[in-house]
Amino acid sequence: MSLPVPKNETTTVRPVWFAVWPIARTALHLVFRRKLFWLLFAVASMSFLFMFGAIYLLATLRQQFPQVEKLLTNMLKDLDGSGTTYLNFMLAQGTVTMILLAFAGSVLAGNDHSRGGLMFYLSRRIGIIHYALGKLLAIGLLISLTTTLPALVLFLEYGLLGEPGDYFSEKYGIAFGIVGYGALLSVAVGLLLLALVSWMPRPVPLVMLWGGLFVFLPVLSEILSDEFDNSHWGLLNFWRDVYILGSRCFGEVDELFEGATGVVAGVSVCSIIAILFRLRQLQHRS
Amino acid sequence: MTLERPATTESSPLVEVRNASKWFGPLMALNGISLEIGPGITGLVGPNGAGKTTLLKLLTGQSQASLGEIQVCGHDAWLAKAKAHVGFCPYGDATWDELSGRRLVRVTAGLHGFTGAEARRRTESVLETVGMADRADRPVRTYSKGMRQRIKLGQALVHDPDLLVLDEPLNGIDPVGREGLGDLFLRLAKAGKAVLISSHILNEMDHLADHILFVCRGKLLASGSLETIRDVLDDYPLKMRISCAAPRRVAPQLMALESVKSVTVQPPEDLFLEVQNPNRFYAEFGEFATAHDVDVHRLKATDTSAEAVFDYLMERASRPE
């Protein structure tokens, strides 16, 4: 019988941390097989395509009618190529990204908990930390696919269609801002999603809870802010909180920055505790 | 309680379990189990809820013993070093339904730290070994039970482990599939691997295991070679059903056999027997049927379930010497 490797043969084995990638890749593979994912991704891409087309149109108009440049810049402040352009784009992607994550959550990690996949992973040389990091990486990449990556493409487009040398040399900080905000989104939202999926692996309750957090709470926060004339109620909107922190990556400081930092940090720490506690519980249950 | 000390193999054991206990809240799943596992096929037999899966979880490092020590190839089973020596074939496979067999094995290779060409080489090699190379591109959900077991075996073998742990690998497999898998297990054992097969059916281990571990209610009840276990079961009171012509005539004659404790006639052709020593009964009955010209249509043991055997072993072990 042919066994994989003769006993006297030595092979190089990568450190255990590299096992995070196959975990993430498998989770993404399972999500990409869903038609619903591609439908939602198409919806998410519409906003990107609109922005892409608008930037192209603007650049063409600027080239052909230089005299209207000032007028166009004043009319379309959101498309002036500054950090705000990309910041607002990533904020606008929030709704569809949240819907995407709500449906993908169960596939990304929930099925492992309800169908015994966790046992499979933990019988390998990895621990719950590696497992959780693999899943977080998958969620992070999914978030980046609808926020960070398109924002970077728009940044490149804006630079290349204008004066590339000047734009990239003067505004290279924007690229770091996009990556920073994207990383923040991936970590904060990823931790929250994984924590919820760990405790609520089935899709329907997860979608309902996720919807409550990212649809009901923002609406509630607006009503309460208006009612009590206190902007701190706005902190109930988690996506907005991450946006406030992310805007710091573009050099902008919001008056609610400290409050938002507290909320995001608190939610993240609670999520980490919830994830580890749940995974330990699942690992040691009968 | 243990009826005999666990047999040690000629070489040093790959697995050493010393006084391992595991409890989940108030439930004691394992109670002070000590055993050793060496190369060859070892059957872990016990009724449902006996603690087999818990023991497998401890051996494969998925869970940690509440008390006691578990060593695999000289390392604590809980550590990554030990897990590198263990290949686990889980009972369930629902999680992998959507992946192709080939991808599942590749993922496992990646989890064990193999990438690129090496991962591909190992994947193809194990797929060849388990006889799935030509069917590995289909999703796992389209596989038969036997094919699923083969793919799961493939992913367990991809890092060339010394210890293979198989959770109920023959459950639901048809006789042809069983034979094929049995051959595969024997070949792996011949290649020097320790193969631990859990099952709740004692008879499954008949032609496979050269060492049996009986677990019941969280305890190791008996361990040893199949012959040793058979000796222990010599006095096992077995219930038999015999279908023959003229059962009323045969019944009193059967009572004359030493191994037969009672006979109940159920017309038109059935006899229900309680026998004391199955091995002696089979020998006596053969001679009896020939001598009395009994036309036997069917002979079947009706309570060979693991539960019945374990109840007997429990009762026997608690008897004063």
Please give the average per-residue pLDDT across A222-227, as a whole number: 91
The rounded mean pLDDT for chain A is: 86
Contact across the interface for B63 and A18, Cβ inside 8 Å? no
Q: Is residue A8 part of a domain?
A: no
* Secondary structure, 3-state, chain A: CCCCCCCCCCCCCCCHHHHHHHHHHHHHHHHHCCHHHHHHHHHHHHHHHHHHHHHHHHHHHHHHCHHHHHHHHHHCHHHCCCHHHHHHHHHHCHHHHHHHHHHHHHHHHHHHHHHCHHHHHHCCCCCHHHHHHHHHHHHHHHHHHHCHHHHHHHHHHHHHHCCHHHHHHHCHHHHHHHHHHHHHHHHHHHHHHHHHHHHCCCHHHHHHHHHHHHHHHHHHHHHHHHHHCCHHHHHHCHHHHHHHHHHHCCCCCCCCHHHHHHHHHHHHHHHHHHHHHHHHHHHHCC
- Measure the CA angle with vertex A85, ends A28 and A180; round to 5°: 50
Q: Name, of A43-52, A131-140, B187-196, the range with top average pLDDT.
A: A131-140
Q: Is residue A10 part of a domain?
A: no
Q: What is the predicted pLDDT for the residue at B146?
A: 85
Residues of A with CB under 8 A from a CB of B: 1-5, 7, 11-16, 18-19, 21-23, 25-26, 29-30, 33, 111-112, 115-117, 119-127, 283-286
Partners of residue A112 in chain B, C-beta under 8 Å = 95
What digits encode the pLDDT tens for the residues B88-109? 988 876 667 888 999 999 999 9
Contact across the interface for B113 and A284, Cβ inside 8 Å? no
Within 13 Å, how many C-alpha atoms sit on residue B197's CB side?
33
First to last CA, chain A: 37
- Residue B110 is nearest to which of A19, A115, A286, comparing CB atoms? A19
* Per-residue pLDDT band at B317 (split at 50, 70, 90): low
Partners of residue B116 in chain A, C-beta under 8 Å = none
- Residue A14 is nearest to which of B24, B61, B113, comparing CB atoms? B113
Q: Is residue A132 part of a domain?
A: yes
The rounded mean pLDDT for chain B is: 83
Distance, in angstroms, between A35 CA and closest chain B CA? 14
Q: Which residue has the tokens 């959550």?
A: A105
Please give the structure tokens belonging to residue B286: 């053969």
* Per-residue pLDDT band at B205 (split at 50, 70, 90): confident
- Residue A21 is nearest to which of B108, B110, B128, comparing CB atoms? B110
Residue of B nearest to A24 (CA): B107
What digits encode the pLDDT tens for the residues A89-123? 998 888 889 888 988 888 887 777 767 778 888 88
Residue A259, Cβ density class (10 Å: 0-12 exposed, 13-18 middle, ≥19 buried): middle
Contact across the interface for A15 and B187, Cβ inside 8 Å? no
Say yes or no to pLDDT of B305 above 70.
no
* Per-residue pLDDT band at A126 (split at 50, 70, 90): confident
What digits encode the pLDDT tens for the residues B8-23? 344 568 899 999 999 8
Q: Which domain holds residue A246?
A: 16-285
Q: Is residue A24 part of a domain?
A: yes
Q: Is residue A209 part of a domain?
A: yes
Distance, in angstroms, between A281 CA and closest chain B CA? 10
Q: How far is CA B311 from the centre of its chain?
A: 17
Contact across the interface for A26 and B187, Cβ inside 8 Å? no
What digits encode the pLDDT tens for the residues B238-291? 788 888 888 888 888 888 888 888 888 888 888 888 888 777 788 888 888 888
Partners of residue B84 in chain A, C-beta under 8 Å = 13, 125
| In contact, B132 and B164? CB cutoff 8 Å | no
Of the two residues B177 and A183, the one the predictor is more confident about is: A183
What digits encode the pLDDT tens for the residues A27-75? 999 899 889 899 999 998 998 999 899 888 888 887 887 777 777 777 7
To test the contact with chain B by mutation, choose from A2, A123, A126 the residue with the greatest count of B C-beta atoms within 10 A, namely A123
Q: Is residue A58 part of a domain?
A: yes
Q: Which of A76-80, B285-289, B305-309 has the lowest mean pLDDT?
A: B305-309
Partners of residue B98 in chain A, C-beta under 8 Å = 30, 33
What digits encode the pLDDT tens for the residues A226-280? 999 888 999 999 989 999 999 998 888 888 899 999 999 999 999 999 999 999 8
Distance, in angstroms, between A32 CA and closest chain B CA? 11
**Count of the separate structural domains present in chain A:** 1
Write down the pTM of the prediction.
0.79
Residue of A nearest to B128 (CA): A2
Contact across the interface for A125 and B60, Cβ inside 8 Å? no
* Per-residue pLDDT band at A130 (split at 50, 70, 90): very high
What digits encode the pLDDT tens for the residues B134-179? 999 999 889 988 888 889 889 999 999 999 999 888 877 777 878 8
Q: Is residue A27 part of a domain?
A: yes
Q: Is residue A243 part of a domain?
A: yes
- The SS3 call for residue B306 is helix
| In contact, A2 and B129? CB cutoff 8 Å | yes
| Residues in CB range of B261: below 8 A, 6 or more apart | B237, B273, B274, B275, B276
